[in-house]
Structure 1
């Protein structure tokens, strides 16, 4: 049986990332210093081919989400909200040389797609965190935005995650490294969650709450759906499980939050997860919304995060 190793919050080398009152991005890999070049393959960037400090050194907010189209839409929205910037009305996909992820930058805001599920976002986060480190970014806030299935709350509600939990409702992320199971904490920044929640109160007709988010490795059986190609449990089993999740504080389900929380926490990044719910899983498994309603729901996390960023930049007064 593989041993279970506790997650370490200590760096593998002396911390040279925080000084002069600024919080720089930690990297927990002593081998990076020995590399002549670091190729961020899935982002189509590298330390020798690109001037990363010049390109990204001013980044203060990183917003990530699964869909490339939604992340481009959010980047265009921020492009307009932040006022006149160079580049005109359109923005360029920095990762256009790869078909894995898309990346857009507007002022101090970096927007990146991460695909669906833990493996996809994990790969992106490794290279993104190294990018922020090589660019010498400081005081960076990371926010994942997305869609999710709600538990016991109305569709359209925006859940601001306080803690990401696994399928056993535990605040941890388990990863097999070599032949060991490593567990890492998935607590998110409580003050950041409260700031986002307070921002939501200033938006008219904007249902929002703070709660636990459950992260699963699968969209169908892993989330207790009855409508997949396989189903090995009864309707009663499903409702019992989701009811227990609700009692444990879970208010929505998605597929990326645990690894996002764990990696950001270990690398010294303030992080938040903001997801809108598209249905109440206690009442069904399939999303049955009109195109217009779905589009409006999907824009809710974008609106909240945009207001939060503008407030932090002093561009609007929603205190």
Structure 2
């Protein structure tokens, strides 16, 4: 055996060993990734279940908190509503949330100090912000609710004055088109919205006073469910942690799937098998048969004496003749 043959056989053997080792390693790596993926999918189910149970518990606790501190929760809700209404006027001021807000149009009603009004309201909103925390809910009593209601009346006056200013603008005096003026006016919050806030505050105060009177006159009045704001805050932290766990597992699962994709065997596409229509197939076969084997007609016979073409077939009489 020649030396070159031996070397060639050795190289072929080495390539076979390396190729087999590569595919074995590749398959082992894929199996490991699939096992990790299955584990993460199981962990995700567990994490999502934990998150859903934590959210459900928080929802129940918030309901109990509202029952225990009905006045405080209602006032906090209306504070947020009134704050959102004020935010709807930001477009017509420069530095709307700062210490020196200024209206962007020339004020045709100089007696209305609209910039000073917005500046004062900014101070109110900053003060209100501290009252929207759950831990502050116990501090909101009737006197505090009455003060917030009075502050909301100030916001109502501000909205009304701002509407008067925009309604008094004219294209000649403001250097604005009528379309721009109308657009500004349409973007202003409605007085109806701020009136709804005032009505809700008044209702909350009345309901609280009625509840207090009932509890004082009736010894059988059922006490509200007792829950402390600190418990709700603690449960909120549990929900946040559970949400973080779900997100972490989802990210890990996405990374594993990216690693698996290049290792997964690519399926070979299979051409669809079409079943021909039997009727069409028969018709086609008949057509092909007709083309390949045309039907032979009997030859026509020509009588050379009379020049008449005689077509083979049964004897027929010529109309109007008598054979006898």
* TM-score, structure 1 as length reference: 0.20
* Greater per-residue helix proportion: 2
* TM-score, structure 2 as length reference: 0.20
* Greater per-residue strand proportion: 1
The higher radius of gyration belongs to 2
